[in-house]
Amino acid sequence: MTTNDLSLQDDDYGALTYRNIERIRLGKYEFNTWFGNSTIFFPNEPDTLACKIIRNNIRISGSKRKLEEYASTMRPWLKLLHICPYCFKYTDNEKEMKEHTNGCPLKFHLMGKVMYCDGEVTVRKVKGSRHRLFCQCLCILAKFFLENKSVFFNLEHYDFYVLYKVLDGISTPMGFFSKELLSWEGNNLSCIMVIPCYQKQHLGTKLIDFSYRLSQFEQVVSGPERPFSSLGKIAYLRYWSGRLCLHFLYGRLSTYRHVTLKFVSQQTGFRMEDILMALNFMNTFYVNGKKRPYSEYCLQNLNEDDDCVCTEEIKQANKQTIFGYDGYNLFIDKSRMKQWVVDHKISDSPVLKKEYLILY
């Protein structure tokens, strides 16, 4: 691998092709980074945080020799980065971080507006235009765990929905998703992250569910921005799959013999392409009575207003739901859906409780 291969990626600001900071210390937790992040450094100064250079008025070099030396050997720029678990400010000095954390103003005085609170988790809306530094630091942290994260500083047109849980008696931010206010695609989520030390608590599912609650409140069919991170794609596929199973097996869709894809989208709030992805993920839909892989051709040739056609074979099976498709008959094997529910222990309990939403 050449030095150029290891340099900054121009098409993704802040990205590196190797991990330049090995580990992060967040409160009492310490864990590895997943991706490189050059955002907190000046160009050509890989061994000193930009904030320290500015604060101490250090003169920086215009030479690329030091950066090329680090890149050629994949030498870490920092072994350990200390990050405040409440406001996400960062430093490479352990003593400095301890002093800050003890008196961090966000330790007991949280910012933003409460949008959901059920006694276990709280979701607060934090405006990027109003709380710029907090949101910038949150995005910088996210870059260490999201490969395609590229927006860090121009956050005036983003809202952040931050999930809190009580940890050691203190309400602690554990994950977030951002939403672009001027999204041409009408996305309800731009990026999502649960901090690694707080994962495996279904917090990502709660954030995804909240994003769809917002869309439902706004009376729009929406979905996440592409491209997905690898973990984000899996999280969404599992969420869509679980919700679709409940809709088809126990919800309003279970009462229909024939439905169109457009109708399913309206009932669930999921985009049609996302519904197809989830059905393919569960291996539960068929075309023309034969199992076929999901294809972009099918999606591109979708006709929302087609009436559904039910074949005699499917009628006799008495367990499938049929979609209208341009030139296709697509139907669902509900027995596979039922097995999916059992295998993945899908609960019919709501992810978030409606009575605790505060969306107005």
**Residues catalogued as catalytic:** 225
Give the whole-angstrom CA distance, residue 244 versus residue 267: 10
Query: Which residue is associated with the tokens 């519904």?
Result: 275
Give the whole-angstrom CA distance, residue 249 versus residue 216: 21
CA distances from 345 to 93, 211, 241 (A): 45, 23, 12
Closest CA to 350 of 157, 205, 217: 205
With both helix axes pointing from N to C terminus, report the angle between 230-249 and 272-282 in degrees, rounded to the nearest 10.
90
CB 78 within 8 A of CB 22: yes
Give the 3-state secondary structure of residue 352: coil
Sign of CA dihedral 9, 10, 11, 15: positive
Output phi, psi for 260, to 5 deg: -95, 160
**What residues contact residue 297 under an 8 Å CB cut-off, 6+ apart?**
none
**What residues contact residue 316 under an 8 Å CB cut-off, 6+ apart?**
none
The continuous run of DSSP H or E covering 261 comes out as helix 261-268
Query: Which residue is associated with the tokens 């006709």?
Result: 303
Distance of CA 316 to the CA centre of its chain: 42
Q: Tell me what percent of the chain is helix, strand and coil, each rounded to the nearest 5.
A: 35, 20, 45
**Residue 245, burial from CB neighbour count under 10 angstroms (0-12, 13-18, 19+):** buried
